Structure 1
Amino acid sequence: MSRNKEFFIFMSIQFILMCLVTIVCLIVNVRLGLFVLGMQVLMWIAFFMYHRWRYIQIAKLSETLRRVSLGHYELEIRDNQEGELSILKSELYKVTLRLKEANELLEQETQYLADAMSDISHQLKTPLTSMRMMNELLADPNLDEQTRLMFISQNKTQLDRLQWLVSSLLKFAKLDTKTADFKQEILSVKTLIQHAIEPLMIPLEIKEQQFIVQGDECKIVGDFHWTVEALTNIFKNAIEHTPVCGTIQVNIQKNPIYTEITIKDNGEGIDKEDLPYLFKRFYRGKNANRDSVGIGLAMAKSIINEQNGDILVESILGVGTTFKLKFYKLIV
Structure 2
Amino acid sequence: MLRNRELKWLLLVMVMISVVAGWGVIILPAFSLYIVCFLAALLITVTFLFTHWRYEEIRKLSGYLRKISGGDFSLDVRDNKEGELSILKNDIYKVTLMLSEQSSGLKRDKSKLTEAISDISHQLKTPVTSMMVMADLLQRQGLSEEKRVEFTKNISLQLERIEWLVSALLKLSKMDAGSILFKRDTIIVKDLIHQSIEPLLIPMDIKQQSLILNGDVNVTYDGDFNWSSEALINIIKNCVEHTPEGGKLTITFSENPLFTQIIIQDTGKGIAKADLPYIFKRFYKGKNASEESVGIGLALAEKIITSQHGSIEVKSQEGKGTEFTIKFYKQVI
TM-score (norm 2): 0.83
The residue type equivalent to 1:201 in the other structure is L
For 1:272 and 1:43, how far apart are their aligned partners in 2?
80
TM superposition shift of 1:219? 0.7
Q: Distance in 1 between matches of 2:203 and 2:52?
A: 82
Q: Unpaired segments of 5 or more residues in structure 2?
A: 1-17
1:51/1:205 Cα in 2 relative to 1: closer, same or farther (>3 Å)?
same
1:72: how far off?
Answer: 1.0
Residues 259-285 of structure 1: CA distance to partner in whole angstroms, max 9, x if unpaired?
111222333332333233222222222
Aligned residues: 311
Q: What is the alpha-carbon distance in structure 2 between the residues aligned to residue 309 and residue 249 of structure 1?
A: 21
1:92-171 alignment, distance < 5 Å: 92-171=92-171
* Residues 153-204 of structure 1: per-residue CA shift (max 9 Å, x gap): 2222222222222332333333233333533321111111111111112222
1:232 corresponds to: 233
**Residue 142 of structure 1 aligns to which amino acid in structure 2?**
G
| Partner secondary structure for residue 157 of structure 1 | helix
For 1:242, what is the secondary structure of its paired residue?
coil
Q: Name the counterpart of 2:283.
A: 282
> Counterparts of 1:279 and 1:84 in 2: how far apart (Å)?
51
Q: Which residue of the partner structure matches residue 299 of structure 1?
A: 300
Q: Counterparts in 2 of 1:8-27, with a 5 A limit?
A: none
Identify the residue that residue 5 of structure 2 maps to in structure 1. Answer: none
Residue 280 of structure 2 aligns to a residue in which SS? coil
1:66 aligns with 66
Determine whether 1:189 maps to 2:194.
Answer: no
The structural deviation recorded for 1:64 is: 1.5
Query: Structure 1 length as normaliser, TM-score?
Result: 0.83
Q: State the alpha-carbon separation in 2 of the partners of residues 87 and 302 from structure 1.
A: 42
Corresponding position of 1:214:
214
RMSD: 2.8
- 1:7 is aligned to none
CA apart distance, 1:142: 1.9
Q: Which runs of 5+ in 1 are unaligned?
A: 1-17
Aligned residue for 1:324? 325
1:174-185 aligned within 5 A: 174-185=174-185
Partner SS state of residue 250, structure 2: strand
Output the amino acid matched with 1:228: S
Alignment partners' CA distance in 2, 1:67 and 1:97: 14
- Does residue 57 (structure 1) correspond to residue 57 (structure 2)? The answer is yes
Give the structure 2 partner of residue 249 of structure 1: 250
Q: How far is the alpha carbon of 1:133 from its aligned partner?
A: 0.8
Stretch of structure 1 that moved more, 183-192 or 272-281: 272-281
Q: Matched residues in 1 for 2:216 and 2:60: separation?
A: 68
Distance 1:112 1:39, change over 3 A: same
Q: CA deviation at 1:68?
A: 0.8
